[in-house]
Structure 1
Amino acid sequence: MTPKRKGVKLQSERTFRNWLNGFRARYLNELDPKRVDDFLFLVRFLPDILQKYKNQAEFSLSLSDYINRVCTEDRLSLGQKRYDEWSKPLKEIEKTYGVQAPILMSIWGIETYYGQIRGDYQVFSALSTLAFDGRRRTFFETELFAAIKIADQYNVPSKTLTGSWAGAMGHMQFMPTTYQEHAIDFDRDGFADIWSENPIDALASTAAYLAYHGWDGSLPWGHKVTLPKSFEYELTAPKLQKPVSYWEYLGLSGLPEDKHAMGSIIVPNGVSGPAFWVSGNFDVLKIYNKAISYVLSVGLLSQGLKTGEYLQLDWPRETRPLKRSEMQLLQKRLSDIGCDTKGCDGFFGPNTEFAIRRFQKKNGLIADGYPGPNLLARLGL
């Protein structure tokens, strides 16, 4: 390391310690000072976490690349074995909370490869680093405080409280505040243990979380559908829900059997990619993780666990994810010409989707709300 880089590192560590002392003064005055010393003794600034935060796979990979990376034959095969191993308590959890066991298995498989990869970052250090970074300081300070409260309440040594680089913990990667609000002691041993080799409390806690946010056990997450050539893509606008009978009348195939089931049509890769009918459960999964690539992966893996094989999907090859700087430029270009994206933060959300649809409709493009090659070319990007 050059003297200059070494000096920058030392300066960062000093600034980090100053922030940590300030955090202690703001949040931890009510706790036993000796306990606080023990909790914070091993806290370190971990700069590699900031790089991981910047390059999250859900947002840096194309939809098809992410799904192909997650929905592997190995993950499907191991999931079926784990399902057989834990089938009895899974049935009890499903009966209690109404969340289908394959959904829980799928989340478990994606989050930690069925408990095999739960993360080895010291949670206090991970959350401290992200809070110190400042981009979501209030959020991560709140999570750090919650993690310390959990360790204090249950007498958990800080060195054993490990998780992902983002501070998510246990089999299902709960953030500390999620644990505080939704953790379930399903096996009734006196402690909602999401960390041990036994995954039952973690699986039940996830079911409780999804049920709390409105999961409907009578509905599937979604179905792959085929659209008629005459389909109007404006009907894929967010939150436009219709009964299955309505979509059937328009000529869609592959729909659920229940004619009264409410759902939306989404084309996550635009007009050239596959289409899906999705129920309100799809939106509940987005509360767990807002990335549509993650939610689709959960649905597709759960379907594979039920049938023994994955759906065959025809993904377009000409699409790619936009970098954040490219998305910011797209948002600025749209806003400048009267299609307001309500800000240029570089993240694709409903405001940007609505702006894209408005531009597409005004300029004779198929209004699928997707920033595909034709849209980018028309905008000179």
Structure 2
Amino acid sequence: MKKILSVVLGLTLSGSCWASSASFDEYVEKLKVEARGNGISESIITEAFKDVTYKPRAVKADRNQPEKKLTLDEYIPRAVPDWKVEQAKSLYKQHYDQLQQIGEQYGVNPRFIVALWGVESNFGKFTGNYSVIDALSTMAYDGRREAFFRKEAMAALEILQQGHISPADMKGSWAGAMGQCQFMPSSFLSFAADGNGDGKKDIWTTEADVFASTANYLSQSGWDEHHTWGRQVKLPNGFDTSIQGRDAEKGKYLQEWGAMGVTRYDGRPLPKLDKDIKAWLIAPDDANGRVYLVYNNYNVLMKWNRSYYFALAVSHLADRILLD
């Protein structure tokens, strides 16, 4: 493991004390020291931090995220409007051959690749205009999650060192999420893939790389191409909803849920599969709202983004691509 020079200088990696007694410019100098200790070249450090700027709008965005909680009945139509479904279907057809090839290579259902693309960045239209180095330096300096954002800044520098993108073109959200699949830099290093064979992993402008990177993430996170994500269900009167949740011990086989009176949303019995599958009951609002039985692929989507609502939006869009 590469030794981090900042440890030698007494700058702890786990604390959030760097920013408390330093100006932003002084803080950036400390980031440069850490980068050198991580083996980042002087030319990359110079170019990456050449015009680095503190971004108060990023801090404001972090601290003023919306507090109002929508119900799923309100959220799903906003996250997956009909126009987005039509775009998803059109793009699925447009890129069909490439998506099928990548889906087969990674063992991932192509419609989920398109659905993630649509929910994350509206098919690459909204990827963020912040310099990633600006955003991550700002968020680290802010101090609330310094260790996390400092780690991501070092990962961003590693991406630049590998030559996948230039500092000027490395754009993302206020939090440093990058490209059309909105990977944080550490996720890029773990999952980004070269879909078109040009030697670069370009999740900003190369759709083949976006698709391959998305598929690789899902594949490495445990995706099972032989099953879908789950289904909306109906509970019998008086059902004990305390057994809901995604904890491992709360998973039951479909036939067990069926024996407890859980049905498809339209009242039909749950499907009988040649090989039964484990499912978890979730009610993200409450038992009076939408209720689902979800399979392991839904748990994989929750690794991508830990929001029940996000994972359900992706799942809903993937279903609309297939069924409409």
- TM-score range, shorter-chain basis? 0.7 to 0.9
Letter in 2 for 1:268: P
Percent sequence identity is 31
CA distance in 2, matches of 1:37, 1:60: 42
Corresponding position: 1:307 with 2:320 = no
Q: Which of 293, 296, 304 pairs up with 1:277?
A: 293
CA distance in 1, matches of 2:29, 2:158: 17
Query: Partner of 2:258 in structure 1?
Result: 248
Query: Partner of 1:175 in structure 2?
Result: 184
**Which secondary structure does the structure 2 equivalent of 1:24 belong to?**
helix
* Distance change >3 Å, CA 303–CA 155, structure 1 → 2: closer
**Which secondary structure does the structure 2 equivalent of 1:93 belong to?**
helix
State the Cα deviation string for residues 267-310 of structure 1 (Å, max 9, x = none).
111111011010111111111000111111111111111112xx
Q: Which of 132, 150, 170 pairs up with 1:141?
A: 150
Q: Which of 242, 261, 278 pairs up with 1:234?
A: 242
Letter in 1 for 2:86: S
Query: Partner of 1:211 in structure 2?
Result: 219
Letter in 2 for 1:244: L
CA distance in 2, matches of 1:70, 1:288: 17
**1:226, 1:275 within 8 Å by CA — same for their partners in 2?**
yes
1:316-331 equivalent positions in 2, closer than 5 A: none
1:120-199 equivalent positions in 2, closer than 5 A: 120-154=129-163, 156-196=165-205, 198-199=206-207
**Which secondary structure does the structure 2 equivalent of 1:66 belong to?**
helix
Letter in 2 for 1:199: E
**Which secondary structure does the structure 2 equivalent of 1:128 belong to?**
helix
Q: Which stretches in structure 2 are left out of the alignment for 5+ residues? A: 1-18, 265-269
CA distance in 2, matches of 1:78, 1:31: 41
**1:42, 1:159 within 8 Å by CA — same for their partners in 2?**
no
State the Cα deviation string for residues 157-209 of structure 1 (Å, max 9, x = none).
3121111111111111111111111111122122222122x311111111111
CA distance in 2, matches of 1:26, 1:95: 41
> Over the residues paired in the alignment, what is the CA RMSD in angstroms?
2.1
Query: Partner of 2:229 in structure 1?
Result: 221
* Distance change >3 Å, CA 241–CA 160, structure 1 → 2: same
Give the drift of 1:216.
1.4
**1:111, 1:173 within 8 Å by CA — same for their partners in 2?**
yes
Give the drift of 1:236.
1.1
Query: Partner of 1:23 in structure 2?
Result: 31
More deviation, 39-48/26-35: 26-35
Letter in 1 for 2:284: P
**2:106, 2:215 within 8 Å by CA — same for their partners in 1?**
yes
**1:63, 1:293 within 8 Å by CA — same for their partners in 2?**
no
* Distance change >3 Å, CA 45–CA 60, structure 1 → 2: farther
**Which secondary structure does the structure 1 equivalent of 2:23 belong to?**
helix
* Distance change >3 Å, CA 257–CA 305, structure 1 → 2: farther
Corresponding position: 1:298 with 2:314 = yes
Query: Partner of 1:71 in structure 2?
Result: 80
Letter in 2 for 1:74: W
Give the drift of 1:256.
4.2
Corresponding position: 1:201 with 2:209 = yes
Corresponding position: 1:42 with 2:58 = no
Letter in 2 for 1:156: I
Q: Which of 267, 281, 285 pairs up with 1:265?
A: 281
CA distance in 1, matches of 2:69, 2:242: 26
CA distance in 2, matches of 1:106, 1:155: 25
* Distance change >3 Å, CA 302–CA 56, structure 1 → 2: farther
CA distance in 1, matches of 2:75, 2:140: 27
CA distance in 2, matches of 1:230, 1:249: 15
* Distance change >3 Å, CA 172–CA 87, structure 1 → 2: same
Q: Which stretches in structure 1 are left out of the alignment for 5+ residues? A: 1-10, 309-381
State the Cα deviation string for residues 63-112 of structure 1 (Å, max 9, x = none).
43433321111111111111111111111122122221111111100111
Corresponding position: 1:90 with 2:99 = yes
CA distance in 2, matches of 1:99, 1:156: 26
Query: Partner of 1:289 in structure 2?
Result: 305
**2:41, 2:161 within 8 Å by CA — same for their partners in 1?**
no
CA distance in 2, matches of 1:242, 1:234: 14
* Distance change >3 Å, CA 108–CA 256, structure 1 → 2: farther
**2:165, 2:202 within 8 Å by CA — same for their partners in 1?**
no
Query: Partner of 2:111 in structure 1?
Result: 102
Query: Partner of 1:114 in structure 2?
Result: 123
How high is the TM-score relative to the length of structure 2?
0.86
- The number of residues matched between the two structures is 296
**2:279, 2:293 within 8 Å by CA — same for their partners in 1?**
yes
